[in-house]
Structure 1
Amino acid sequence: MKALVLGINTRPVVNSLKKLGFYVYSVSYYAPEDLNADKKYYLINPLSHGRLRENYDENKLIEIADNLADEVDYIFITSGVFEFENSKIPRWDNIVGNEPKKINEISNKYKTYKKLQNLGFNIPETKKINNKTQLYGFLEEFKSCILKPIYGSGGGIIKLESNDFYIDKIINEIKFPIIAQEYIGGKSFSANFIGNTFITFNKQIIIKGMYAGNLTPYINLPKKFIKIFSEAIESFELKGMNGIDFLIKYNEPYIVDINPRILGTYETIEMSASQNLARVLLNNNYAKDFKPKEMYIKRILFAKEKIIANISKRDFVYDIPKKNAVIERGEPIATVIAKENIKSIINDVYRECAEYEERKENRENI
């Protein structure tokens, strides 16, 4: 059997499929050393990563995948594709989960929020902002707010406060239209489903508005939330693996995102349940017996400065870059997933990264 995995980072799904005996094509932006695909197609320069926002080209990935689609039995879709306004939408009949058209529809955050609101689900106060005047008005009403792009997933959010000293400078740099939402403080959570079967709650780790990991499972949440989110999954007619991100206000869940594709929690769920998650995605009947048990923590590590990575392969460390890869400040270095001692593992990874300028000076002085 052959499978294709498409998205920004395909490693977790690819490696699961390899354990099931699949021949796997990976079509991705990143190409970590621990990606076990039989055929790898990627956009990144493994020795000089550059910046994702500047170099990512969704259309190139979709074009490569489209050329391979008829050669495989199954296509698995992860994050970063079909999530933009002008995404190309191919017609593939061998997709595991939601089709590209459905992913694209849900990725229009504003339309999704309006539908959720019309169906009676709680969402933060939300408005589509077309210019600076409207944004100043929204801030005057709510004092602080969250700004999000109309399309996309995984973060990219900005928190604004009306008394921010640099408020005018920030607003002048914003590209409209954009979504503004009332700010709801507190922890961020997600609920994960396969089909309409609830799998787990997760506590999300958000750093500077970006998804940076999660704790799985998170058990201290009311069971009534499951019924609410299950109704949302049914209302949007979602298939396969899906996630609902939410905050809590007045002891009620407020939905802030629906992710209609394979999730960033994939690996912590799989490890916690000690079962192959790709097998469950291929046959959703297995989902009822697929339950996370032990808690795992996932942390995506970002470069604090421009660095040269020399990270050794070992337990608990994933998405390992090529030896001596140059990684820009703010870009991901690697992923750590563990049950305990995670701070120690994170510190070890950072110690294996040399600051680029310091290494450059050392070379010049030889």
Structure 2
Amino acid sequence: TQLDEKQVDEGLRKIRQALLESDVALSVAKEFVANVKPKAIGQEVLKSITPGQLLVKIVYDELVKILGSEKSEINLNTVPPAKILVVGLQGSGKTTTSAKIAKFIEKNFNKKVMLSSLDVYRPAAQKQLELLGSQNNIQTIPIIEGQLPIEITQRTLAAASLSGSDVIIFDTAGRTQIDSVMMSELNNLKKIINPIETFLVADSLTGQDAVNIAGEFKKTVDLTGIILTRIDGDGKGGAALSMKSVANCPIKFLGVGEKIDDFEIFHPERIANRILGMGDVVSLVEKVSENLKKEEVEELEENFKKGQFTFNDYLKQLRQMKKIGGMGKVLGMIPGISKIKKQIDESNIDESLLGKQEAVILSMTSKERDNPKIIDGSRKKRIANGSGTDIALVNKLLKQ
């Protein structure tokens, strides 16, 4: 069967709701759903999954494509020193992120990095960057009280040339997008610095404001990348889709904690899962598609309909479940199950039970597997001994 328009419309209504609940901006959610619809209609539905699950997979693939279709490595391909400008709203975590970028570059590219704070407005902002630099052995431009951002920039460029720095990271003052004076200053700094990378640092909890923020910064300084912070918190990730859609530049990194090393290259799959909030239906669809042969699925379904579901069929299902990753993994992929994850974790699912049940079935004769009613007391004893289990487990399996 194929997905028809009615199924797609019904499913996309729920998807749109999920996007809005994940703080994706309304305009972005509308556009996204409109683009997905023609791609979904007519798609082949495998018998082992529902139309709804297939639609989630199509939506997920589209999300991943939008979030990560561009190459997102940091660009240092220029005559040294490579200059990186870090911009963003007040309180988005720019200063900590600037130090994290420096550490990441030194560790992964073996480059000499200099940090420079241009934030002369927030009390102790320059001191904060200086402290982060000294704690992590990263060179920081010395503070001279009373200097303006443009003067600090010129001093930094001269100092970097003298010290042989490969990369300079400029941490700018936090500003609101409606503050025209501050945005104008940012524009002037960009002209003097001429950075190869201009990163917008944004809090993943930004929500519906994300579109305005990304739009204003993109207009002022022409962003080359986005870094999302506090991704370890309760944010649902919608800001990522909104910003990516409006700014039209790649999300390059995620801040995933307070420590200097809590900094990761952006993986679109992770945010796509978070935005949809529908369990890992996608992995379930993929793994079922990979591991189940179509003929086997049809044979199992046919036997089930006729009431002829034998231990041979059950054995196939057990092996399939083990291939996917066990009972806990399968449960974790089911939509809505995250709400009772704690209870599942506390119930201590015995994954070894699958192996024991497999051993019991393998100890049966082919006649016993096809017709378990013939298994009497002496047969149960033989099966228990042959499988290295006990009669209680054999009885339990026969009653299922």
TM above 0.5: no
Which is strand-richer, 1 or 2? 1
Richer in helix (by share): 2
Report which structure shows greater RCO (CA 8 Å, sep ≥6). 2
